[in-house]
Chains A and B, each alone.
Chain A
């Protein structure tokens, strides 16, 4: 037992489980975008709360790490708080809200606005890992499609969107192709974040606990959002800027401020927004 107060093993999981997960992660890195099956363990939080990401983090984390956990881009979201305190307790790690200080960032639904660096690891919580699942519910079938690179149905689906709506009507969990081979779900991040995955210096690991799959994008790996020549991939834009920090380049959450429908827009990334607000205050004081 290495210095935690819980009565459970270091980082909660037993060593054999961690070894199994570690081997799975290495294979995931060697086959970018391919979903490696693994023997999911029941975790002390429910499926859907990030059990896949938590198992990935538990198998990689050590006492020298500095952990940041975000949900919806924010460090103070209830479940992010809960996961952070789980690892502070079971792994005795330092935690931070600052993206640049973290060695591991566990996330649900966002990629931080500040660019990640070499050596950092971004762990995504994934609800449904299979990009073809809505088109074909059977695992036996989708596994074959990946094996044969038979991705025609995905292109047909996207093209049907264009026929119906004049555009690809997917705004989050937008499918990507990794290293020109596997089609991958980036987890429900807004498509605004998709370009950040491409050639990112950080290692990106994806954990889906209930679905028992782990996959990865190594650093400096091509990640292309699917599109067509006549309908190129585009990200969301806002006419507004952040009401707190004035950012025009970040993903904005909409907050309803009155029952008359008044709204304000603020950064979803609380760390990015906080830094910008601090810089503004400093500037104003000088």
Chain B
């Protein structure tokens, strides 16, 4: 009984063909391979993995290729895929203290145990187009010393160093037996727990969080941030099988973590302490991790006794609008037909205009 509606189906099929052609571009130019994307557009790959909430560089590369480099579209592809995957286990919390660090900077202390590691960063590049890159060319190998992971030396987190003196609010693990919100399975409810907020921010759109974080720096919910520490490198993911007495590692992932140290709080009974904001992304994502930490701190305002007054402190505003799938979908759905609603409005506005004209006429006649 399958009834096809030919016009629409043909149009869709034709659109898909056009899209495939556009994606490929000039067939004379060699087609991109997934390893090329994974290796040479690695920051795009890690953004797609972070906001796509799936650590799989190859699939992220595929999504980027399929989406023609539109990262928001690629994030959508990855999310729609991940939601169909079965869950085998829940990992233990990753321990970033045991990270194989490739980059680590602190803006709060000149030197710290383990040292500052500049690592691969754009920070001190001059933003001059490098015309040499226009043609393939071998790259000079980095100095051996620079490229070695620094894990050999212990690298306590700056937060831990401040914590020893009681200068930073302690981050107590919550009740570990209490069920954690899982945003991929439950809707948000308010007030949202911090774990739900951090999940939403981790999946949130980088551009949106960047602007919100920026707004806190300009006085819309100011919280005096210092970049306590930003570290990037590989961490081990572990699970604890029920039948084993010890956890087992199931792989390594690259992450970027930002510990923001913020304005201090104190009261008559408690000496002043700095407060915290936290950000974490897959891969190398400093801009996102820092923005996330700023917004996390802003959203903690109620808990820290600050009066929420700015967009970044408004959890409904931030959490309901940070997801690029939701935002992009709803903005773009305006492209879909709205003939019926528009017709309804037309009928009503015409009637109202007629009525107004009749009223004017009647008035003039009197």
A221 within 8 A of B: no
Whether B184 sits at the interface, judged by CB under 8 Å, is: yes
In which size bucket is the chain A interface? 35 or more
* A255 to B185 Cα, complex, angstroms: 44
Does A79 contact B1, Cβ atoms closer than 8 Å? no
Q: Given A66-B1, A140-B190, do A43 and B80 touch, yes or no (CB 8 Å)? A: yes
A159 interface residue per 8 A CB criterion = no
A190-B339 Cα distance, complex, nearest whole Å: 10
User: Interface code B336-366, partner A: CB below 8 Å = 1, 0 otherwise?
Assistant: 1111110111111000100100000000000
Given contact pairs A43-B80, A109-B341, A49 touches B347 in the complex (Cβ within 8 A): no
Among listed B8-16, B136-144, B163-171, B213-221, interface-contacting one: B8-16
Q: Are A88 and B329 in contact (CB under 8 A)?
A: no
Count of A-B contacts judged by CB separation below 8 Å: 150
CB-CB under 8 A for A38 and B344, given A14-B86, A49-B336: no
Residues in B211-257 with C-beta less than 8 Å from chain A:
none
State the Cβ distance, A11 to closest chain B Cβ, in Å: 12
Q: Evaluate whether A253 and B343 lie within 8 angstroms (CB atoms) in the complex, with A38-B187, A78-B12, A95-B3 already known.
A: yes
B126 part of interface (Cβ distance < 8 Å): no
Q: Is the interface of A mostly helix, strand, loop or mixed?
A: loop
Q: Does B79 lie at the interface of the complex (its beta carbon under 8 Å from any beta carbon of A)?
A: yes
Contact of B347 among A8, A71, A109, A238 (CB under 8 A): A238
B340 touches A44 (CB 8 A): no
Q: Indicate if the CB atoms of B80 and A44 lie closer than 8 Å.
A: yes
- By beta carbon, the residue of chain B nearest A69 is B5
Query: Which of B2, B3, B76 gathers the greatest number of chain A CB atoms within 10 Å?
Result: B3
The reply to whether A46 and B339 contact each other, CB–CB distance below 8 Å, is no
Q: Which residues of B contact A84 (CB under 8 A)?
A: 5
Of A39, A94, A188, which is in contact with the most chain B CB atoms at under 10 Å from its CB? A39
Taking A140-B190, A166-B355, A171-B348 as contacts, is the C-beta distance between A76 and B7 under 8 angstroms? yes
From 63 to 96 in chain B, residues with beta carbon under 8 angstroms from any chain A beta carbon are 76, 79-80, 82-84, 86
A109 to B344, CA, bound (A): 11
Most A CB contacts (10 A, CB to CB) among B86, B188, B340, B348 go to: B340
The answer to whether B352 touches A14 (Cβ under 8 A) is no
Q: How far is the CA of A39 from the CA of B183 in the complex (A)?
A: 8
Q: Which of A39, A77, A238, A251 contacts B337 (CB 8 A)?
A: A77
Shortest beta-carbon distance from B1 to chain A in Å? 4
Contact call B79/A42, Cβ cutoff below 8 A: yes
9 tightest Cβ-Cβ pairs between the two chains A and B: A48-B333, A47-B329, A81-B8, A171-B344, A46-B329, A212-B187, A76-B5, A190-B344, A94-B1
Of the A-B pairs whose beta carbons lie under 8 Å apart in the complex, a sample of 10, sorted by A's number, is A8-B84, A42-B82, A46-B329, A48-B333, A71-B337, A81-B12, A139-B316, A139-B320, A171-B341, A188-B340
Other 17 A-B pairs with CB < 8 A, given A47-B333, A72-B337: A20-B185, A37-B187, A42-B80, A71-B337, A79-B337, A80-B5, A140-B191, A165-B352, A167-B352, A171-B345, A171-B348, A188-B338, A238-B347, A251-B340, A251-B343, A254-B343, A268-B343
A contact set with B: CB distance below 8 Å: 8-9, 12, 14, 20, 37-44, 46-49, 51, 66, 71-73, 75-82, 84-85, 88, 94-97, 101, 108-110, 127, 137-140, 165-167, 169, 171-173, 188-192, 210, 212, 236-238, 251-254, 268
